[in-house]
Amino acid sequence: MNLAYIALGSNLNDRYATLTAAVRRLRAEPGSRVLAVSAFYETPPVGGPEGQGSYLNAALSLDTDKSPDELLAFLHTIEHQFGRVRTVKDAPRTLDLDLLLYDDQTIYSTNLIMPHARLHERAFVLVPLAEIAAEVRHPVLNKSVAKLRDELPKADRASVVLAKTPEVPQDFLDVRCLVTGSTSGIGKAIAEAFAERGAKVITHGRRKAAGRHLTANLSDPKAVDKLAEKAWSKGLDVLVCNAGADTLTGEAAKWSFDRKLEELIAVDLKSTMRLCRNLGEKMKAHGRGVILTIGWDQAETGLEGDSGQLFAAVKGAVTCFTRSLALTLAPQVRVNCIAPGWIRTAWGETASAEWQDRVREETPLGIWGLPEDVAAAAVMLASPNAAFLTGQTLRVNGGAVRI
């Protein structure tokens, strides 16, 4: 793997949304991993036609298996996908992705100059880059990024200011939501998405944490019942049963098939059924509520190997249970299942090159899904916009499974 630094810029349309989406697109690329992202900075345009708007700029570091030429071509492809049209030099643009540094290589070719030829002259590049790579040295000038930034004219540096973060619609104000298994990965992203939109989120995990947080070992039925009681006492409108046993990483990856099956049935299936039935009955009696479960997109089509057999059996049962629960609790409570596909969780971050290639080949969109993609589906299904959806399975998988 190779370490690259990339500058991002936009001064057309919704600049914040564009840069945010561009970062997510880079995070989703198989064989690459975003290590750090700077804040977004508001900067005046440099050169180009008069009258153009100011830019939002940022920088990120990327661990990648692509060669410099492949990476540059990839960045140009993303620019094109975001509507970049190359006309006159330094013209306004929806998205600009510049390859600044690639390891400590120096390259002088027809297509690529590395380090970027004007890296050391641009405050709108050096200020965000110094935030994430202050001590990285310019391989030609032999000066750190922080040193190059500090050598710029004071007026240039002062023109680069932190951008204001746009306000997020508060469409879940006064909504109380419990998300199980929400200390990391998909669950954490779901909890953050609801909280960002104003919901009062109760998180859950096996260990203590700050804020509205409940602890429970979901393999213990009594602990599940106690969790339901505590959550309901705080008021509850939305339940997201996300918690699942991790049998792919850590010590659990070495467990026997039978032990993994026992753990998955206890945590992924039995606790989901017990919690949904308990809280679902209370929601129905109360007259309203939303329940979301987490399945798996390949439960119906299958996947070879032990893990495929385990997850197909357990998550397939969760999906079928969800459909029946939806009939039981209708019309007061809506119940749907989200079935993620290749989502870049902790396992995906460290998956081998073989699995990275498999994601490229099996997903029509050619990229990993991100926890935020599942979170967006959860927020949509819990919102009034999904008022006519219940008993459904929504696959968040880039088109990998289509049934």
In a shared domain, residues 119 and 191: no
In a shared domain, residues 277 and 156: no
98 is catalytic: yes
Residue 38 lies in a domain: yes
**pTM of the complete model beyond 0.75:** yes
Q: Which residue has the higher pLDDT, 348 or 20?
A: 20
**Quick one: pLDDT at residue 275?**
98
**Quick one: pLDDT at residue 210?**
85
**Quick one: pLDDT at residue 359?**
93
pLDDT higher than threshold 70 for residue 90: no
In a shared domain, residues 261 and 190: yes
At 9, is the secondary structure helix, strand, or coil?
Answer: strand
116-126 burial, b for 16+ CB within 10 Å, e for fewer?
beebbebbbbb
268 is catalytic: no
Does residue 331 have a cis bond before it (omega within 30 degrees)? yes
96 is catalytic: yes
The count of domains in the chain is 2
Range of the domain at 76: 2-162
| Torsions phi, psi for 7 (to 5 deg) | -100, 140
Residue 312 lies in a domain: yes
Q: pLDDT band for position 53 (50/70/90)?
A: confident
Please tell me which residue in 24, 25, 65, 84 is annotated as part of the active site.
84
146-157 burial, b for 16+ CB within 10 Å, e for fewer?
bbbbeebeeebb
Residue 240 lies in a domain: yes
Identify the CATH number of the domain in which residue 60 sits.
3.30.70.560
**Quick one: pLDDT at residue 87?**
65
Residue 237 lies in a domain: yes
In a shared domain, residues 150 and 195: no
Q: Which two tokens stand for residue 53?
A: 């708007």
| Residue at a domain's end among 162, 192, 209 | 162
d(CA 158, CA 152): 10
Please tell me which residue in 15, 27, 33, 98 is annotated as part of the active site.
98
Q: Which two tokens stand for residue 367?
A: 């990229």
Identify the CATH number of the domain in which residue 339 sits.
3.40.50.720
- Give the largest Cα separation in the chain, rounded: 71
Residue 121 lies in a domain: yes
Residue 68 lies in a domain: yes
In a shared domain, residues 150 and 196: no
For 159-193, the pLDDT digits (tens) are 999 999 999 999 999 999 999 999 999 999 999 99
For 268-277, the pLDDT digits (tens) are 999 999 999 9
Please tell me which residue in 27, 96, 149, 237 is annotated as part of the active site.
96
For 286-309, the pLDDT digits (tens) are 999 999 999 999 998 999 999 999
104 is catalytic: no
Residue 322 lies in a domain: yes
